[in-house]
Copies of this chain bind each other. A is one copy, B any other.
Amino acid sequence: MMDFNTYFELLNLYSDYAMVCDSSEWEKWPDFFMEDAFYRLQPRENFEQGLPLCLLALESRAMIQDRVYGVKETLYHDPYYQRHIVGTPRVLSVTDNGKRIHAEANYAVIRTKFDGDSTILSAGYYHDHIVKTDEGLKFQSRLCVYDSEMIANSIIYPI
């Protein structure tokens, strides 16, 4: 179903993504996406009922870049560190001669305030469509379904 080299790349994609989100290197975040990719952050309750409302819905890499600008320059917020712990992805399908991968992975994001304890900011899973390009694997879409039903106005940095 999948050869080792692709699997190695896939696992590195997941861990690279996590590390970039946690390292305050947000300007690298858009590079994980195709130009026409979407990124959505949606509460599980809405997702399971087929309701469209998302906390964040970025419908192109340009919108993702704009979000980075917002995080770095305009959003007023109390800074914090975050740390993604992501389970091994489960591969749901590989199609188009190995060029398209459909996968999911559970995640938890831990927030550490500068003067405080570490707590769980968000838990949920990624539902991903990935394509093989000349520059490596990239997300065609990444949907983050998070378990909490509280409105997480405190989520500032990429999940």
Residue pair A86, B83 in contact (C-beta under 8 Å)? no
User: Chain B residues near A19 (CB, 8 Å)?
Assistant: 90, 104, 106, 125
Q: Is A4's beta carbon under 8 Å from chain B?
A: yes
Q: Is A46's beta carbon under 8 Å from chain B?
A: no
Give the residue of B91, B108, B117, B120 whose beta carbon is less than 8 angstroms from that of A12. B91
For chain A residues 42-83, which have a beta carbon within 8 Å of chain B? 44, 81, 83
Residue pair A116, B85 in contact (C-beta under 8 Å)? no
Residue pair A44, B90 in contact (C-beta under 8 Å)? no
Residue pair A105, B147 in contact (C-beta under 8 Å)? no
Residue pair A8, B11 in contact (C-beta under 8 Å)? no
Nearest Cβ on chain B to A157's Cβ, whole angstroms: 13
Residue pair B117, A120 in contact (C-beta under 8 Å)? yes
Give complex CA distance A83, B120 in Å.
12
Closest to A3 in B: B4
Closest to A118 in B: B120
**A 112-127 binary contact with B (CB < 8 Å = 1; else 0):** 1011111110111100
